[in-house]
Amino acid sequence: MKTIIYNIGTLAGILPADVRRLEGSQMNHVECIENAYLVTEDGIITEYGPAAISPLASPGRNNSAGTDVQFIDAQGGFVMPAFCDSHTHIVYAGCRDGEFRDKIAGLSYEEIAARGGGILNSADLLHATSEDDLYEQSMVRVREIMAMGTGAVEIKSGYGLTVEDELKMLRVIRRIKETAPITVKANFLGAHAVGRAYKGRQSEYVDLVCNEMLPRVAEEGLADFVDVFCDAGFFTVEDTEKILSKAAEYGITPKIHANELEVSGGVQVGVKYNALSVDHLEMTTDAEIEALRGSVTMPTMLPGCSFFLGIPFGRAKDYIEAGLPVALASDYNPGSSPSGNMRFVMALGCIRMRLTPEQSFNACTINTAYAMGVSDQLGSITVGKKANLIITKPLPSLAFIPYSHQTPIIEKVILNGTAIA
């Protein structure tokens, strides 16, 4: 099926086919075409350009499109790549609204975790939930983020913390991948916290991750990535190295949670093991910036977590000025960032991290696509990439997207060339 989107006010996010990520000053610009058209065929972008030069620009002018063609009138709105969200925990059971009251009362994330809440609370809820029920609960959130314009999502395990419950989570993620039109990447995060049964025996729990969880995950082909929460009160650099070394035996690409609570050394160990991304980075020094220079690792910041927990925002501006790339993701989870709204993430990038709208746009599209290993397929308007697109109402500028982030601007979301909303 061929689809022709015409009457596009602004086609935004155009990149050459060989660009996999943007870094430093490259992030300052978003290539656009005013008064444009775009053609997709069998879910792939095949052509685009200024409307004035093409007979495909509208149904009335088109004499060569053929009969098996769908026309979509963008009505003067923006057409842009769908968001890519490279860091989420959206497979979980129940919610943690009770902890919301604890936060309001002044308890910190670390204090709630130390009392047995936080991640362990979610693990208890997940243990008592069937695989089918977990899938249905999670699909509610998947449909929610798709409707808000997210076309690709990385989903982590990490609320299981036993062999069988981690596998249950990863099987649900695989089921989502098989049944939803959104692009899904699975991340094994068995080292999210030490399971209750191993309290006071952290090294034994790390052995469980390495010797029992990872072999089963690899055997069933359940994970694209492996992750470790390398931070204060969770896993050490030594724990992290042990897990990543074991994962390398199975050829599983690493990612790292690092520097959310303090400067942990997680960034440096991530770079050492060629992690695809190091995520959080609320606490950072110039040493982390230097460690990332010349690496393949994408610094990924999670402003929704900073907003919800009231902790510092990552130094995204400093990273970009140092010539590094930056990605922004939602961290959608029940405890520290209960939202997958990437427009809000883009807005926080501008309002709280002082990024320009262009920098924040690139951080939420092409760079998050890179951070989940799909920038060859998604994250920009590029011939040959998947037609994962957002069509908006007419907007005065790109800046309006983060500026008025609560205004309902999305008219249509297209995934794999098919409108889903």
- Convert the chain into a string of H (helix), E (strand) and C (coil): CEEEEEEEEEEEEECCCCCCCCCHHHHHCCEEEEEEEEEEECCEEEEEEEHHHCCCCCCCCCCCCCCCEEEEECCCCEEEECEEEEEECCCCCCCCHHHHHHHHCCCCHHHHHHCCCCHHHHHHHHHCCCHHHHHHHHHHHHHHHHHCCEEEEEEECCCCCCHHHHHHHHHHHHHHHHHCCCEEEEEEEEECCCCHHHCCCHHHHHHHHHHHHHHHHHHHCCCCEEEEEECCCCECHHHHHHHHHHHHHCCCEEEEEECCCCCCCHHHHHHHCCCCEEEECCCCCHHHHHHHCCCCCEEEECHHHHHHHCCCCCCHHHHHHCCCCCEECCCEECCCECCCCHHHHHHHHHHCCCCCHHHHHHHHCHHHHHHCCCCCCCCCECCCCECCEEEECCCCCCCHHHHCCCCCCEEEEEECCEECC
Domains, the chain, ordered by start: 2-81+380-419 (2.30.40.10), 83-371 (3.20.20.140)
Q: What is the pLDDT of residue 361?
A: 98
Q: What is the pLDDT of residue 402?
A: 97
Query: CB–CB of 204/132 below 8 Å?
Result: no
Q: What is the pLDDT of residue 65?
A: 55
User: For 158-172, b where at least 16 C-beta lie within 10 A, e where not — what string?
Assistant: bbbbbbebbbbbbbb
- Whole-angstrom distance, CA of residue 230 vs CA of residue 328: 19
- Segment 85-123, tens digit of pLDDT: 999 999 999 998 888 888 888 888 788 877 777 899 999
Q: What is the pLDDT of residue 115?
A: 76
419 burial type by CB count under 10 A (0-12 exposed, 13-18 middle, 19+ buried): middle
Q: What is the pLDDT of residue 409?
A: 97
In 3D, which of 194, 362, 348 has the Cα closest to residue 282?
348
What residues in the chain have per-residue pLDDT under 50? Answer: none
Q: What is the pLDDT of residue 195?
A: 95
Beta bridge partners of 156: 187
